[in-house]
Each structure stands twice: as structure tokens, then as C-alpha cells.
């Protein structure tokens, strides 16, 4: 693996770098969060090992920055800290860390954690290669379907299911007329079917389906001031079956969670790609866990319910909602993570600080606060 170690203590940094290098990995060292950012711009690592307290940019802020980027490679983040309290660990994981170790580091534990990071890194590489293949195939299939005048579903050609809630007339034409939106369930079917290696068909919801795990994907269109929300719900056995196929029998809870998150990420990538082909750029956030039973959003412009069914009985529920995304103006101290800039933020000289459509992170908020503490910033507030 390519590893970046971020540690401001020279002695601890050298020790950690030598331990990791001795395991056969390539190591680059940084003594500050800012230097780590420079190294990542040169080349993204497979693994980022970061201390919590750093000059220029804290470990949490650095982790949030990594997670805010739509990178071609997944960066596994191992947080190392001298603090063992639950609040510190909670903050690190909330920032997007994959693992947490307390100093002084136990050598055997470090070796074990490195093996997990290496395994996840290779898995992510394979999965991202697969999603690129899926996106390419999707574009070819949609082009063929458009020429044939029909949507391709499974191994047959048929008309797409209509909305179970017939209120799509409330959705702006700029979205409603996109073929990527009309055939969104089929896009999800293709991505998930390829990932699970099953031949799914799109069907109407079934009253007897009782999923136990759900993830929500939120995609925001700044020009249309809309959010597209997709909830995928599945049974525990579906996730365990997939995790077992990837990691072997009896995968631990962390690997099961990684599998669910990656399934949601792949789905989000497929949906974004299908709409991007038609010129609709969407800002995405991290997939979120959803409590079941799922509660529909009040005031949604449109809601569609579908089910994916496979010949072996595997079923997944899909809920697609379109909602208005409220906007407001806020000063820097009122900005919070998750808000999306409705327009570019520029300084007094007209230089862009943060592009429009950016989902705010702690780093972006700090940048705005330093330069424009009192300026009113127009943001979309994700509900």
C-alpha cells in the first residue's frame, strides 16, 4: 500500500514510519495537516494514518477533507491519538475515520489493523473498477434503449413501472423529462444486480417484505433547488450473503457495515452518472443509515416505491423521493456541515474561495470564516 503518516512528533513519526515500511508498504511522512494535503494532491494514498492534534489542520479536519472529495481511490483512514475517551473516538468516527488506535501503539495490533486496511483497500479498488464498468455499460444500454424506443429491464424489453404515487407532475420538467430520472429504478437494478451477481427485475412493492437494514442516498441539484432521495432497504441475510462472498464466512460487524456502505456508494455513483450524461450535475453526500420502518418525507413533490426481486427470492425495497431544498442566507458562524453552497463564495478581490454546489465541511467553513466572517452566504439546507 501507499501510506501517508501524519505526525508532528518527529520521534513518534520515525518509529511509526519504520514499522509500516518494515511490513512492505511505501511510506510518505508529513509533520502537519497542510503538508499531508500537499502529499495527497501529488498522489492519493491507500491509507492515511493521522494523529488527532496537528499544526495547520487537525486530524478530524483532515479526515473530513478526505471524505468530502469524490476521489478515484478510497482512502482508508486510521486515526491514532493519545486520547482513549469515548468522546474522542466518537468525534474521529464522525469525521469519517475507518479505525482508531490509542498511543502508544501496540505493534501486533498495528500489524493486524494494517492487514484490514490492505484488504479493504484492495476491495475498494475492485469495486470502483466494477462501478466504472457498470457506468460505461449503462450508457451503452441506455443509448440502445433510446434507439429501440423502450427501456431495457433484466433480460427483457418492457415499459418501465409508473409511480405508485401519481404526483410526478409536481416535479420540475428539467428533472421529470430526464430519461435518467424516469428510468432510475432500472439504473438501481443494474448496479445492484451486477454487484450482487443476481438477475433482478423491477416490480411493485410487496406488503410482506420486512427489511431490517436501510441506507439513504441524497443527491442535490443546486440549479433546480431540489433533492433526490433514494432509500434502499434490505433484509439482513442479503447483506450477510454479500459480505460472506467478499470476506469469507462469518464476517465481523465492521466488514458487514463496509459492505452496506459500498452498496449504497455504488448505487449513488450509477444514478449520478446516468443523470450527468444528460447534463444534470448532482452534489452527493455520504450514504446515511435510516431507521425502519422508513418514514416518508412530508411535503415531497414525488414519491415512488419499487421492489427488486431475484429468482432466488432475494428482495430489496426502493423508495425514490423528490423534495424542494430550502435555501437561506447565513453568516459564517451559522454555517454547519452538510449545507450546500447555492452560489460560489468569492473574496473582496473576486477570487473564488469555495465553488458553488460544494457540500460544506469543517475546513470549508473555517476558510469562509477567516476571510468573510460577516458576509451573508446563500446555502441550501439538506433536510
117 within domain boundaries:
no
Which of 105, 121, 151 is the endpoint of a domain?
105
Structural domains counted in the chain: 3
pLDDT value at residue 47: 92
Upstream peptide bond of 166 is cis (omega within 30 degrees of 0): no
If asked whether residues 272 and 299 sit together in one domain, one would say yes
If asked whether residues 218 and 242 sit together in one domain, one would say yes
pLDDT value at residue 4: 93
Distance from C-alpha of 287 to C-alpha of 284, rounded to nearest angstrom = 9
The CATH number of the domain holding residue 195 is: 3.40.1550.10
| Phi-psi domain of 248 (left: phi exceeds 0; alpha: psi -120 through 50; beta: other) | left
If asked whether residues 72 and 152 sit together in one domain, one would say no
The 10s digit of each residue's pLDDT in 171-201 is 888 888 888 888 888 888 888 888 777 888 9
pLDDT value at 214 more than 50: yes
If asked whether residues 253 and 163 sit together in one domain, one would say yes
Mean pLDDT of 40-61: 88
3-state secondary structure of 241: helix
If asked whether residues 288 and 360 sit together in one domain, one would say no
pLDDT value at residue 140: 54
Query: What backbone torsions phi and psi does residue 256 show, to the nearest 5 degrees?
Result: -65, -45
- Averaged confidence pLDDT in the chain: 81
Residue 238 lies in domain: 130-324
124 within domain boundaries:
no
pLDDT value at residue 27: 92
Distance from C-alpha of 111 to C-alpha of 382, rounded to nearest angstrom = 40
Which of 236-250, 315-329, 338-352 is least confident? 236-250
pLDDT value at 234 more than 60: yes
127 vs 238, more confident: 238
Distance from C-alpha of 156 to C-alpha of 13, rounded to nearest angstrom = 58
If asked whether residues 27 and 68 sit together in one domain, one would say yes
201 within domain boundaries:
yes
| Phi-psi domain of 350 (left: phi exceeds 0; alpha: psi -120 through 50; beta: other) | left
Report the length, in residues, of the chain.
383
Which of 284, 300, 324 is the endpoint of a domain?
324
From 299, 272, 294, select the one nearest 213 (Cα to Cα). 294
Give the pLDDT band (50/70/90) at residue 43: confident
From 201, 204, 20, 183, select the one nearest 101 (Cα to Cα). 20
114 within domain boundaries:
no
222 within domain boundaries:
yes
6 vs 165, more confident: 6
pLDDT value at residue 166: 42
If asked whether residues 163 and 303 sit together in one domain, one would say yes
71 within domain boundaries:
yes
E strand map for the chain: 2-6, 26-30, 47-51, 76-81, 99-102, 151-153, 156-158, 201-203, 213-221, 226-234, 283-284, 288-289, 302-309, 315-324, 327-330, 340-341, 345-346, 352-354, 377-380
Give the pLDDT band (50/70/90) at residue 130: low
Give the pLDDT band (50/70/90) at residue 28: very high
Give the pLDDT band (50/70/90) at residue 135: low
From 51, 19, 48, select the one nearest 121 (Cα to Cα). 48
pLDDT value at 48 more than 90: yes
pLDDT value at 284 more than 90: no
What is the 8-class DSSP label of residue 373?
A: T
The CATH number of the domain holding residue 348 is: 3.90.105.10
pLDDT value at 133 more than 60: yes
If asked whether residues 164 and 235 sit together in one domain, one would say yes
pLDDT value at 167 more than 90: no
The CATH number of the domain holding residue 27 is: 3.40.50.2300
pLDDT value at residue 164: 36
If asked whether residues 35 and 145 sit together in one domain, one would say no
pLDDT value at 229 more than 50: yes
If asked whether residues 311 and 243 sit together in one domain, one would say yes
Portion of the chain with pLDDT greater than 90, in percent: 6
270 within domain boundaries:
yes
Give the pLDDT band (50/70/90) at residue 291: confident
116 within domain boundaries:
no
If asked whether residues 19 and 56 sit together in one domain, one would say yes
pLDDT value at residue 162: 36
Mean pLDDT of 349-361: 83
Which of 324, 344, 359 is the endpoint of a domain?
324
pLDDT value at residue 148: 44
Mean pLDDT of 206-210: 85
Strands 302-309 and 377-380: unpaired
Mean pLDDT of 251-273: 80
The 10s digit of each residue's pLDDT in 64-123 is 888 877 566 788 899 998 887 788 888 888 888 888 888 888 888 888 888 888 887 777
If asked whether residues 191 and 288 sit together in one domain, one would say yes
Portion of the chain with pLDDT greater than 70, in percent: 87
The 10s digit of each residue's pLDDT in 292-338 is 877 888 888 888 888 999 998 888 988 889 998 888 899 988 888 87
Amino acid at each position: 500500500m501507499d501510506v501517508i503518516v501524519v505526525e508532528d512528533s518527529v520521534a513518534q513519526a520515525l518509529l511509526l514510519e519504520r514499522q509500516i515500511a518494515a511490513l512492505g508498504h511505501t511510506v510518505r511522512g508529513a509533520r502537519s495537516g497542510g503538508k499531508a494535503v500537499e502529499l495527497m494532491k501529488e498522489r492519493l494514498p491507500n491509507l492515511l494514518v493521522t494523529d488527532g492534534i496537528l499544526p495547520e489542520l487537525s486530524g478530524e479536519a483532515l479526515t473530513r477533507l478526505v471524505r468530502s472529495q469524490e476521489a478515484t481511490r478510497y482512502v482508508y483512514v486510521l486515526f491514532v491519538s493519545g486520547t482513549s475517551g469515548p468522546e474522542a473516538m466518537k468525534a474521529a468516527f464522525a469525521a469519517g475515520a475507518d479505525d482508531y488506535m490509542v498511543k502508544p501503539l501496540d505493534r501486533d495490533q498495528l500489524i493486524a489493523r494494517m492487514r484490514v486496511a490492505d484488504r479493504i483497500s484492495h476491495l475498494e479498488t475492485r469495486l470502483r473498477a466494477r462501478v466504472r464498468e457498470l457506468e460505461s455499460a449503462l450508457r451503452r444500454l441506455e443509448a440502445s434503449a433510446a434507439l429501440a424506443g423502450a427501456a431495457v429491464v433484466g433480460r427483457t424489453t418492457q415499459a418501465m413501472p409508473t409511480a405508485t404515487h401519481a404526483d410526478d407532475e409536481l416535479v420540475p420538467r428539467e428533472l421529470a423529462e430526464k430519461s435518467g430520472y424516469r428510468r432510475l429504478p432500472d439504473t438501481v437494478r443494474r448496479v445492484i444486480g451486477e454487484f450482487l451477481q443476481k438477475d433482478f427485475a423491477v416490480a411493485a412493492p410487496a406488503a410482506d417484505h420486512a427489511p431490517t437494514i436501510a441506507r439513504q442516498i441524497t443527491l442535490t441539484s443546486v440549479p433546480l433547488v431540489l433533492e433526490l432521495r433514494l432509500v434502499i432497504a434490505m433484509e439482513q441475510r442479503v447483506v450477510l450473503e454479500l459480505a460472506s462472498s467478499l470476506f469469507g464466512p462469518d464476517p465481523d460487524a465492521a466488514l458487514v457495515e463496509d459492505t452496506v456502505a459500498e452498496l449504497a456508494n455504488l448505487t449513488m455513483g450509477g444514478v449520478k452518472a446516468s443523470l450527468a450524461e444528460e447534463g444534470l450535475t448532482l452534489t452527493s453526500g455520504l450514504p446515511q443509515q435510516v431507521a425502519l420502518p422508513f418514514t416518508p418525507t412530508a411535503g415531497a413533490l414525488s414519491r415512488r416505491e419499487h421492489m427488486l426481486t431475484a429468482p432466488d427470492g432475494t428482495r430489496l425495497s426502493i423508495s425514490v423521493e423528490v423534495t424542494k431544498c430550502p435555501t437561506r442566507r447565513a453568516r459564517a458562524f451559522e454555517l454547519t456541515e452538510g449545507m450546500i453552497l447555492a452560489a460560489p463564495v468569492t473574496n473582496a478581490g473576486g477570487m473564488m474561495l469555495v465553488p458553488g454546489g460544494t457540500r460544506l465541511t469543517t475546513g470549508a467553513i473555517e476558510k469562509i470564516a477567516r476571510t468573510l466572517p460577516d458576509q451573508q452566504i446563500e446555502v441550501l439546507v439538506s433536510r
